Structure 1
Amino acid sequence: MSGDQNDPDEAHVGKSIDDDPSYLSSILGHAYRGELDRETTWRSRLDQTTTWTVTIMAALLTWAFSSPDNPHYIVLIGVIITTVFLLIEARRYRDYDVYRSRIRLFQQNLFAPALDPDRGLEHSDWRAELSEDYRRPTVKISLREAIAHRLKRIYAALLGVLLFAWVFRVTAFAPTRASVDDAAIGTVPGSVVVVIVAAYFLVVAAVTVWPREREAKEEFREGEYGEWKGSE
């Protein structure tokens, strides 16, 4: 049975916890372990997505190069599948970042000051920020940033492998001298296919390297700004 929100004892139960430092420390410890467990769960989901992507890529490339009679566009199907997994992983990364951001608040403003009190707090209102996030959970980064992050970490390399494999597959198995026409798919001319593929990978490259202000809270990033530092 839920408590009565109008009952003063129920309304101030959180205040009584705040008044007792030992009780509050215990509660925060449990909260930190809970958030860490959630972050670990979402981290494993990211790894599962990447594993499936690499597995399917390997299967498609093996089949594409197993016989000259197999169509080259099977590699492009691999590009489409990899893109779908990229979008899935970007969505999962946004969820993962929610819990990782909470953990960073704990680490920066609770554990770090406890170890080195002279440095003070990273966020003077961290408790209010964390409280608001518990009241109204929201994602912290945009889908575009999540996509760019996963591209930079792993998917740009995977898509690059597929692009190289497709170009090699089209040219290596050409019956005569390789030409743009060898990239044709059914009634779609090879020149159109090449333009579409080139446009897609130009977009991927632009999303990956385009300068942007990081919204994610303090990640390990070496060399982006000349030194190790967070986004704030």
Structure 2
Amino acid sequence: MTADENHDFDPEAPEEREIGREMVDKSVGLGSVVAHFYRGEMSRVTAWRQRLDETINWAVTVLSAILVYAFSTEGRHEILLAGIVVVTIFLGLEARRYQDYDVFRARARLLQENLFANALDPSQGVEHRDWRRQLSEDYRNPTTKVPLLEAIARRLRRVYLPFLTLLVLAWLFKITAFSSQSWTEGAAVGKIPGTVVIGIVFGYYIVAIAVAFWPRERKAKGEFSKQEYGEWKDEN
């Protein structure tokens, strides 16, 4: 693209922003290209969504096996502590996958908000005036949209904090109801005193809660971020 051509193209110009209207009003090749392009992006979104589900399925399977073994005749409370470590590993893996998933979801949402929504109702205009430039830049220089800490927080709230809560409660039940010693003595692991183990477990759990619910600006491109109900859902 020459310097003059680059100067002439203004994605914020009305005729460029209204590409959605053009797709409806005119039969152009661009509409076919965008349709295939959108289908490809949605395919990526679906694939990464399935990868997230696979991680959760593995976490549930491992968690179930750990709980069954921990409360069997030979089970020890240390296996529940190992379960907390395993769930944390799954959390880290899923947070990274969530970052990749959000890249493609953000592109799909950008098209839905500014292209398809505008094609259906041009009177509302576009959500982002320079959406074409944003999308073009993202294809030239792909970047993650969600910080790792936010991804961890979102997966904690949705899935992994309940898993950790279940393991911590099961561990407390194991060292109290299934031990003739005091719970501080029963929590000992090898030569590590029980008070130290209890401090580490509760400290980790408090940090997990803080990470999950600490107020922060949302970067993830969510589909259902507003609690509003459309009139078309009403039964009349």
* TM-score using structure 2 length: 0.84
Report the equivalent of 2:232.
Answer: none
CA deviation after TM superposition for structure 1 residue 179, in Å:
2.5
Give a deviation string over 1:165-214, Cα, whole Å, max 9, x none. 111111111124x3311100000000000000011001000001100000
Q: 2:197 aligns with which of 174, 193, 206?
A: 193
Larger RCO (CA under 8 A, 6+ residues apart): 2
Report the equivalent of 1:129.
Answer: 134
Matches within 5 A, 1:35-114: 35-67=41-73, 69-114=74-119
Secondary structure of the structure 2 residue equivalent to 1:221: coil
CA deviation after TM superposition for structure 1 residue 116, in Å:
1.4
Gaps of 5+ in 2: 3-18, 229-236
AA aligned opposite 2:151:
A
Report the equivalent of 2:149.
Answer: 144
Give a deviation string over 1:37-62, Cα, whole Å, max 9, x none. 00100000000000000100000110
Query: 2 CA distance for matches of 1:157 and 1:21?
Result: 52
CA deviation after TM superposition for structure 1 residue 130, in Å:
0.5
Gaps of 5+ in 1: 7-17
Secondary structure of the structure 2 residue equivalent to 1:140: coil
Give a deviation string over 1:68-119, Cα, whole Å, max 9, x none. x421010010000000000000000000000000000110001111111111
CA spacing shift, 1:161–1:188, aligned 2, 3 Å:
same
AA aligned opposite 1:45:
R
- Indicate the percent of aligned positions where both proteins have the same amino acid: 51
Query: 1 CA distance for matches of 2:68 and 2:173?
Result: 13
Query: 1 CA distance for matches of 2:225 and 2:210?
Result: 19
Report the equivalent of 1:11.
Answer: none
Give a deviation string over 1:13-68, Cα, whole Å, max 9, x none. xxxxx99961111111111000000010000000000000010000011000011x
Structural RMSD (CA): 2.0
AA aligned opposite 1:187:
K
Report the equivalent of 1:170.
Answer: 175
Query: 2 CA distance for matches of 1:127 and 1:43?
Result: 25
Query: 2 CA distance for matches of 1:179 and 1:86?
Result: 28
The count of aligned residue pairs is: 208
CA spacing shift, 1:202–1:58, aligned 2, 3 Å:
same
Query: 2 CA distance for matches of 1:212 and 1:179?
Result: 37
